[in-house]
Structure 1
Amino acid sequence: MSNRAAIRYAKAILQSTNKNNTGAVLFGDMQSVYDTIQGSRELQTVLQSPVIKAAEKKQALLSIFSGQSETTHSLINLLVENKRTSLLSKVAKSYIDLYNDMQGVKVANVTTAVPLSSDLEANVISKIKELTGSEKVHLKSDIDPNIIGGFILRVGDVQYDASIANQFRKLKKEFSKSI
């Protein structure tokens, strides 16, 4: 339920920014809001807490995001008023996804065991452009030593797992079947 509500808020904001031609500004704001909330366990706890009063949440959010646009401040006020502050991160993420979609930007996530070199990153972006048919590609790179080697590429709802850890799981499964 909360995801649908977050998407509704994000769509309403996107429509508003399209009329005012402020979509790019708000896109930057929403990236900042999302990254800030995701990077702070304490802020997540505050937003989820039923014990902390709405006025205190509002004051904290407005001071944390004081450098953001008036639209972002209006969103915070609206979420506080509707007792939906816990949705702020999801609204920001939904807005980012909707804005990227509207701009034709394909976002790809690649997970590797070690950081990608710039040449390899360029090759990955080139391959994603070829697969998606889009010239606008944004690559997010994550490092997870647990995959041992190889990579996991995710574009939209499609995932390609070429990690060594995945190959080990497949081998283990095959051995389990034969025993």
Structure 2
Amino acid sequence: MSRAAIRYAKAILQKANENNTEAVVFGDMQSVYKTIEDSRELQAVLQSPVIKANDKKDALLKIFNGQSEATHSLINILIANKRASLLGSVAKSYVDIYNDQQGVKAATVITAVPLTPEIETKVLAKVKELTGSDKVTLKSEIDSDIIGGFILRMGDIQYNASIANQLGNLKREFSKSI
């Protein structure tokens, strides 16, 4: 995250706290981040120096017309400061800062195939045990390159129980002994 994105996120969180709308804005920021993350076209529009600022603003306000006034203000401020490309980063920073303030621990589990509800429940229980927190969010990603097993990330900790990792370890062991 850029420092500028974090500053904007902190400013909008402070304003939301003053208005007691931090939870509403949290929902908005999750939606904004997911929308931008899922749309290569929208990312291209936000990054493009060719597209006029007013056109970006109009597009963003139409896309996010159901969001709160705070989100619309953020869009207007970013456009006015020629920082439209930061919108996704600001939204992600807001989500991270808000979760941190609420004591919510975020974990990401990467698997080769989608998690079943039973496995997701077990992973969530393990993350709660490891973090000592009942407030845990679990994000699931799929990466067929890991072949099988899983990779679990919590903050700066990573536990790699993937088959690809185990095969890499075997390969290194064989290379050392030859």
TM-score where L is the length of structure 1: 0.96
Counterpart of 1:71 in 2: which secondary structure? Answer: helix
Over the matched positions of the two proteins, sequence identity in percent amounts to: 72
Instruction: Look up the match of 1:38.
Output: 37
How far apart are the structure 2 equivalents of 1:9 and 1:75?
A: 8
What is the letter of the counterpart of residue 158 of structure 1? I
How far apart are the structure 2 equivalents of 1:35 and 1:118?
A: 22
* 1:98-120: CA deviation from partner (whole Å, max 9, x where unpaired): 01111111111001112222222
Instruction: Look up the match of 1:12.
Output: 11
How far the C-alpha of 1:170 sits from its partner, in A, is 1.2
How far the C-alpha of 1:42 sits from its partner, in A, is 0.7
What is the letter of the counterpart of residue 54 of structure 2? A
Counterpart of 1:134 in 2: which secondary structure? Answer: coil
How far apart are the structure 2 equivalents of 1:53 and 1:79?
A: 13
How far apart are the structure 2 equivalents of 1:81 and 1:175?
A: 58
How far apart are the structure 1 equivalents of 2:85 and 2:115?
A: 35
How far apart are the structure 2 equivalents of 1:65 and 1:57?
A: 12
How far apart are the structure 1 equivalents of 2:142 and 2:38?
A: 16
How far the C-alpha of 1:143 sits from its partner, in A, is 1.5
TM-score where L is the length of structure 2: 0.97
Instruction: Look up the match of 2:102.
Output: 103
How far apart are the structure 1 equivalents of 2:10 and 2:128?
A: 27
Count of aligned residue pairs for this structure pair: 178
Cα RMSD of the aligned pairs, angstroms, is: 1.0
What is the letter of the counterpart of residue 18 of structure 2? K
Instruction: Look up the match of 1:3.
Output: 2
Instruction: Look up the match of 2:157.
Output: 158
Structure 2 gaps of 5+ residues are none
Instruction: Look up the match of 1:119.
Output: 118
Instruction: Look up the match of 1:51.
Output: 50
Counterpart of 1:52 in 2: which secondary structure? Answer: coil
Instruction: Look up the match of 2:172.
Output: 173
Instruction: Look up the match of 2:79.
Output: 80
How far the C-alpha of 1:178 sits from its partner, in A, is 2.5
What is the letter of the counterpart of residue 53 of structure 2? A
* 1:18-58: CA deviation from partner (whole Å, max 9, x where unpaired): 11110110011011111111111111011001111111111
Instruction: Look up the match of 2:88.
Output: 89
How far the C-alpha of 1:176 sits from its partner, in A, is 2.1
How far apart are the structure 2 equivalents of 1:157 and 1:124?
A: 18
How far the C-alpha of 1:177 sits from its partner, in A, is 2.3
* 1:67-121: CA deviation from partner (whole Å, max 9, x where unpaired): 1100000000000000000000000000000011111111110011122222221
How far apart are the structure 1 equivalents of 2:161 and 2:131?
A: 19
What is the letter of the counterpart of residue 69 of structure 1? S
What is the letter of the counterpart of residue 33 of structure 1? V
Q: More deviation in 23-32 or 168-177? A: 168-177
How far apart are the structure 2 equivalents of 1:43 and 1:126?
A: 36
* 1:114-147: CA deviation from partner (whole Å, max 9, x where unpaired): 2222222111111111110111011111121211
Question: Deviating runs (4+, > 6 A) in structure 1?
Answer: none
